[in-house]
Amino acid sequence: MEFKKNQIIELNIDDIGNEGEGIGHIDGYALFLKNAVIGDRVRAKIIKTKKNYGFARVEEILEPSKDRVEPKCPVARPCGGCTLQHFNYKKQLEYKFHKVKNCLERIGGLENIESKMEPIYGMEEPFYYRNKAQFPVGTDKDGNLVTGFYAGRTHTIIDCRHCVIQHPVNECILQKVLAYMEKNHISAYDERTHQGLIRHIVTRVGFVTGEIMVCLVVNGSKKDLRNLNVLVDSLKEIDGMTSICVNVNQERTNRILGNKIEEVYGPAYIYDYIGNVKYQIGPLSFFQVNPKQTKVLYEKALEYAQLNGNETVWDLYCGIGTISLFLAQKAKQVYGVEIVKEAIDDARLNAKMNGFSNAEFFVGKAEEVLPREYKKNGIYADVIVVDPPRKGCDGKLLDTMVKMEPKRIVYVSCDPATLARDIKILEGNGYQTEKVSVVDQFSHSSHVESVVLLSNKNVKKK
């Protein structure tokens, strides 16, 4: 059967794609549909065709799947954020578990992997879990101020002040900032004309400390915000408001934050804890967005590392040292490597603040620092932890890791496909996958986080 753009079809959704989209088949031809779930029968319009597959848009759900639920958020569909909110949470978890399992089997070539997988760690309450929000500010066609989020793949702002995955305090913050802007005639930034002042409202919440930060991203400086003290007084009414600051961003850019920060009230950072480790978090710091599940994830990494206090551990792609400091609680010595200098500044600061003298950090590419230190200084590791970005580990890095013969490798991953690819290499070089756990860090999105323990087969024999 030939398909054409704009053609209307009816089909059953029988599979789920990598981004959480529904997949249906007609005569073997696969069609990808956003907002459709396995078990739905839908009427859809074809929007794009390729030789072996195409894309369609759901026009009407003819028979809903039994796994379909009413999204809690009324604008879940246009929003680019939660791609899975219409999918029963239990099913989301099953989907994520199987995604990891399938990758490990098909790409990693691991047989019988399910027996080594722990049940997925889901959230008890998969809402209001994020500690970081960045709301764009603009005006609608009638000139009213709007804030919320960009509709998927566009820069059209959809007004939405109650996001069901953000901390509830955000709604109150947005009301206060917009009320201040209206009263004091503070303009919203317009990216087409590069005019106007407020670009984004960025917030951070410490889930353990209760500390809250509001950072206004301004096309100008704090001096341009008239009667700013009125806003400060209003925001201070919120329990836990310890940090109000301005981020200067006068560039014509899609980047949300500029480099310069101006303090307005309190320091330009808040504190939070993951487990017993305290972290200082500024507007520019990278910090995991789901602190509750991050604790679950790092505790798994720590458990898999099996430390008794005598080990030397390398934490590669260490960011602000979150995992490194977690490990430093139980290891003799931890070395962290990270490419972003500012992140390493944070890591050193956090190490000092927590009183860890056994954590040292290197700025650079993991695939350059580790081979260099191995060649030059003959460095050693009992355990190596990696937490690379989605593209996974560099081949040169894996090579050096294998040469260093650590007893254990703990692989934390945000992309099961590259995880599986790298595990296959490690398995081919004397390592064996022992345990796998999947942790749901990003409920209602298709992102999957997992931790794998690999052990050195030779050491085991010895």
Residues that bind ligand SAH (CB under 6 A): 286, 288, 317-319, 322-323, 337-340, 343, 365-367, 387-389
- List the one residue out of 278, 289, 290 whose CA is nearest residue 321: 278
Shortest Å, Cβ 267 to ligand SAH = 22
Rank residues 56 and 410 by Cβ distance to ligand SAH and give the closer one: 410
- List the one residue out of 429, 433, 390 whose CA is nearest residue 409: 433
* Residue 79 known to be catalytic: no
Rank residues 189 and 356 by Cβ distance to ligand SAH and give the closer one: 356
- Environment class of 205 (CB within 10 Å of its CB; exposed 0-12, middle 13-18, buried 19+): buried
Rank residues 135 and 317 by Cβ distance to ligand SAH and give the closer one: 317
**32: phi then psi, degrees, rounded to nearest 5:** -100, 130
Rank residues 81 and 388 by Cβ distance to ligand SAH and give the closer one: 388
Distances (CA, A) of 22 to 12, 19, 313, 341: 10, 9, 42, 41
DSSP secondary structure string, 328-340?
HTT-SEEEEEES-
Shortest Å, Cβ 325 to ligand SAH = 10
Shortest Å, Cβ 51 to ligand SAH = 35
Shortest Å, Cβ 37 to ligand SAH = 30
- Give the residues across from 410 on adjacent strands: 385, 453
Rank residues 197 and 316 by Cβ distance to ligand SAH and give the closer one: 316
> Cβ neighbours of residue 38 under 8 Å, at least 6 residues apart?
13, 14, 15, 16, 22, 65, 67
AA letter at 65:
S
- Environment class of 288 (CB within 10 Å of its CB; exposed 0-12, middle 13-18, buried 19+): buried
Q: Are 110 and 428 in contact (CB under 8 A)?
A: no
Shortest Å, Cβ 24 to ligand SAH = 35
Shortest Å, Cβ 321 to ligand SAH = 8
Shortest Å, Cβ 454 to ligand SAH = 18
**Active-site pick, 160, 318, 393, 414:** 414
Helix axis angle for 169-183 and 228-236, nearest 10°, is 160
Distances (CA, A) of 375 to 315, 369, 378, 396, 427: 18, 10, 6, 13, 24
- C-alpha 244/C-alpha 169 separation (Å) is 15
Shortest Å, Cβ 139 to ligand SAH = 35
Shortest Å, Cβ 367 to ligand SAH = 6
Rank residues 92 and 288 by Cβ distance to ligand SAH and give the closer one: 288
Rank residues 8 and 340 by Cβ distance to ligand SAH and give the closer one: 340
Q: Residue with structure tokens 């702002």?
A: 157
The H-or-E segment that residue 97 falls in is helix 89-106
Structure tokens belonging to residue 389: 């970005």
Rank residues 127 and 286 by Cβ distance to ligand SAH and give the closer one: 286
- Environment class of 448 (CB within 10 Å of its CB; exposed 0-12, middle 13-18, buried 19+): buried
Instruction: Give the residue nearest to ligand SAH (CB).
Output: 319
CA dihedral (332, 338, 341, 343) positive or negative? negative
- C-alpha 181/C-alpha 184 separation (Å) is 5
- Give the residues across from 365 on adjacent strands: none
Rank residues 311 and 367 by Cβ distance to ligand SAH and give the closer one: 367
- By annotation, the residues acting in catalysis are 414
